[in-house]
Each structure stands twice: as structure tokens, then as C-alpha cells.
Amino acid sequence: MSDAAQPTAAEVRASVEALKSALDRHLAAIERRADGTGAADADADAEVYSAFNELAAAGEAYDSLLYDAYDEVTPFEVPGGESRPVYLGPDEPAALSVYMRRDYTVSDPLRLLAQAQRITDLDPDAVDPSQGDAETAGSSVHAALGVLFGEFEPDEIATRHREFGLEEGDSTVWVLADEEPAEPGEWLDAPFDTADPERVVCRYDISSVFDEDEEEEGVAREQDEDGAALSTR
């Protein structure tokens, strides 16, 4: 424990009181949403979401002060990274935008090239002239990717990625609310510039990090159970 800028006992006490208040607000928001006595559904969700972020921030602050002052930690896992912003979009959205990102690595270039060549053998028009021609689609990864993503919808590629020599990375889908639909062609030049986190209605994140966290939790539980079993012998 460092002697530099250690928090006082009063600061730690104030932090735990703030955490208690955040816990109460979080539970109250959930109860109001559950019994229907709060605001409309979207507002109730936003209230719970906001209370969750406040609780996470309060928990992280208390855990940090507790460690700095006493070399102790809480038994609770505080969500890592920055809290997501509170929803500030329209209460009654008239339009939605869906933003999607899926990352892949080219894990098997030969398989990718073979699949692209097979597609172009069946349909030479599948090749974008700017990407090459039917004869080069099976020898250039750049051209092969153009053929693949020109031929198949993103959802189909996601379900068949190994067949195409690809390996999945992280992916996310954001659903954003808006007050009115965009004009045709309005955002095509910069389609992702308007991805405002404060208008996110919901989002779906997939990452191997989450699997690793679950595996670590499973190992920890097994170790705890083994320890408990040993202690009873």
C-alpha cells in the first residue's frame, strides 16, 4: 500500500454511502418498471439503464478507494471499460437505424480463393470489374473477398464463415432511434458518422472476451467448490 495520496477514512466512508444510495436507486428503478408505476416503457428502461451506470461507477469508485486506503477489495466484479451513455434520443422515435460491425480474419486463404473461383466459374458476372476478372478471382485475396461479399448477404457469411476460410472476431449491432427518417441518399457518403451512442435503444455485442470471462468464472467456481470439499473432509 503506497503512502502517496492515500484517501482518508472519511472519503472511504462517503464513497460507501454513495454506493448504498446507488444500490437503492437502482433497485427502485427496477421496481418501478416492474410494477408499471413509473414512466412509459422506453423511459423506464432508460431510468434503469442510467441507474445501472451510476451503480457501476459508484462501485468502482468505492473499490478503488478501499484498496488505496486499506489494501482491501470488494467481492463484486465491476464492469470494465467506460459506462455506456444514458439514452438521450426521442421519447417516441419515428425511425430506426441499425448499425452493424462484424470482424473476420482470413484464416484459410486457400479455401477462400477456391470458393471465390467456384462462384465465378458458375457465374462470371459475380466479379466486380474493379476487383479483377473471373480468372484472377481465385488467385487474389482482395478479388476473392469482393466476390464473396458481393455474392452473399452478411448474415449468410456469418453463418458460413468457416466454409469461406474466415474466422469470426468481435461483432456488434447498434439500434438507434431517430425523430424522422433520413432523406434518400442523405447519409450514403458517410453512413457511420451519425452513430450517436446517446440514441442507442439497444445493442448486441459478441466477443471471445466474454467467453474467456465465463471460463475464468467457471474455473474460480470449481476451485471454490474443491476448496469447500477439502475443508469438510
CA dist list (Å): 203 to 78, 168, 191, 199, 209? 20, 18, 18, 11, 17
**How confident is the model at residue 95, as a pLDDT?**
93
**How confident is the model at residue 48, as a pLDDT?**
86
- Mean pLDDT (the chain) is 81
What percent of the chain lies above the pLDDT cut of 90?
Answer: 42
**How confident is the model at residue 49, as a pLDDT?**
82
Strand 95-106: give its sheet, edge to edge. 95-106, 166-178, 200-206
pTM higher than 0.95:
no
Q: How far apart are CA 145 and CA 58, in angstroms?
A: 46
**For cell 484498496, what's the residue?**
67
pLDDT digits (tens, 9 = 90+) for 143-155: 899 999 999 999 9
Q: How far apart are CA 160 and CA 166, in angstroms?
A: 9
pLDDT over 50 (residue 232):
no
11, three cell numbers: 472519503
- For residue 186, the 8-state DSSP code is S
Confidence of residue 228 (pLDDT cuts 50, 70, 90): very low
pLDDT digits (tens, 9 = 90+) for 64-117: 899 899 988 888 765 554 556 778 888 888 999 999 999 999 999 999 999 999
Burial of 131: CB neighbours in 10 Å, binned 0-12, 13-18, 19+: middle
pLDDT over 60 (residue 26):
yes
**How confident is the model at residue 76, as a pLDDT?**
77
